[in-house]
Chain A
Amino acid sequence: MPRIRILLCAIAVALSLTACQHYASIGPGDYDVQQKLAVTLDRAWNRQVEGAGRICAESWTSNGPLLDMLCIVPGVAEGSPVIGSGAEAPRFRNGMTAADIVELVQTGLARSMQASDFVPISIAPATIAGREGFRFEFKFGAGQSAMETDRHALGYAFEEEKRLYLILFHAAEIHYFPQMKPIVEEVAASARLPRQRRT
């Protein structure tokens, strides 16, 4: 009997938590990220509408967040958290360098999804949304025990009018990152500020 009660309790809690996790389908087509950054999608994504699991302003997934996650931070101001939330969440400061922003992203991942063992691959200048920014890649580990996965991250960032714009994709290193990488690169290439027209 106690086992049955525990199981019922677990299912009840799980069901109550599922209610906190809302996803809505977006794309294909043009999509305005909070009217601050526009992208063009050539496929449908699952956009997390709200819930405790969201670690950035916009959180999308194609195969499920355990396997891949695309975070879009559309223009955060000085003093605002970039990845994660709470009093100790790392915050954007004006004047941060590319290396600082990558470290800020890694700190956010470390705090919000127990990521660790970051292995830098590259940080290089890049043009995003017509602005001078940078592209970066690194690997890391996340999760615990049976859910531990090797992950690979690809990101793009630029500053405009003292606001940070970030597109960050991370996925399981095996299969999902290589599968999704060209798709994410297309999304990043399509990024534009709302007043810009897509060329």
Chain B
Amino acid sequence: MNLARRGFLTGGCAFCAGGLLACTPTAPDGAQPQTGGMGAHSDLAARNTPGVRTGVSADADDGLRATMDQMEARLRTSRFLIREPKANAYVRRIVRDLAGDYAGDIRAYLVRVPFFNASQAPNGMMQIYSGLLLRCTNEAQMAAVLGHEIGHYLRAHSRQRMQDARNAADMAQVFAFIFAGLGAPQLNSATDIILTASFFAYGRDQERESDEIGMRLLSQHGLSPIEAARNWENLIAEDQATGISKYRDVLRASHPDQSERAETLRRRAGELPTGVTRADEYREGIGALREVMFEDQIRTGSHAVTMLIADRWLAADSKDGLPLYAKGEALRQRAGDGDDTKAVESLAAAVADSRAPAVAWRSLALVQRKLGREGEAREAFREYLRLAPDAPDREIVRRNLQG
């Protein structure tokens, strides 16, 4: 598997012109990148050389790399950086395996942001949002995104984008300085968005190239390529559930249309070996993060999306207490017609499973009380206090029990 993947990467480099060709020996199996149903990508050669951080324009690259290195240094100390060792080791191993000879050049960071996104900077910094990890339910789905991001790195897409956007970056720094002086944090965040969008908004052809590279890496890793299409189908379902297209925003305005993308990926997957999903390995690898990721998702207030994500996890394990809790809590908070009854069903099933958090008992108690089932509500409140004696709201709950 590794050989085949390395064959793709190094074989791809064999297409490079000039000096790059000299440093990338052709793989023993002589594998060459093949174009499939993704359009006219006659050449998906890697434009970076493993272990080499120089680019086509040394002067420009030095400044851009310094900027990215500065951002990476900030990220390393950010409170939003996920430091849980097992999940980090798991995701980094997947990145390393997919990147092959480029493993040493790409540094993956898990970031606690409850939205679907990942980004690859030209200095090798890859950011993977927790919202993406929560939305994937198997290794193949996550690897599809990681492979796509690695594709951007191999093809040096962001380097060109950053050179184009360098003036925009300077302008954003001016904005940041001025707005900080004005004391307007929300505007400063907006400049961050502008800056990020400048860096990572690739062209459609670049996205299609990276999709193709991601599909090939998936396939060469023995993973199911159809899962790449499922990622996009899941996002389309989220958009339809909320009526808001979150994934056609400023950061992704240049991406191909979601439906087109899902369809193209599905067609391309039909040309590749079926592969495996590795759902159990994924659940084990990121398991320690699931509770906090579900809590963050609940807190976004997008109840329909929370339910969709929960259902996705429940499709694999209908007794899993964590998504059952998330679904029940989303229903309880939405409180639409019939939601309370459905919330009780979901929360009662959740608390029967040891993976549900203690707070599921409180949610169950609250909705039971709302439905007038006072005895059951009291029992659930007591169980909540027994499981979480130091809960921050213990005084309020005790008062509820006395009342």
Contact = CB atoms under 8 A, between A and B. Distances in A.
Interface in A4-37: 6-7, 9-11, 13-14, 17-18, 21
B392 A134 contact: no
A18 B396 CA distance: 43
Contacts of B301: 88, 90, 107, 110-111
A69 B386 CA distance: 36
Contacts, number: 131
Given A6-B171, A53-B186, A123-B393, A111 B300 contact: yes
Interface in B57-115: 71, 74, 78-80, 112-114
Given A65-B185, A143-B185, A98 B299 contact: no
Contacts of A124: 395-396
A147 B396 contact: no
Contacts of A122: 392-393, 395
A182 interface: no
Nearest to A61: B183
Nearest to A51: B184
B259 interface: no
Contacts of B171: 6-7, 9-10
A102 to B, nearest CB: 8
Contact of B299 (A66, A118, A121, A148): A118
B392 A120 contact: yes
B116 interface: no
For chain B, give the interface size range: 35 or more
B393 A145 contact: no
Contacts of B242: 88
Contact of A103 (B71, B112, B299): B299
Contacts of B174: 6-7, 10-11
A199 interface: no
Contacts of A90: 301
A147 B393 contact: no
A143 B78 contact: no
B167 A2 contact: yes
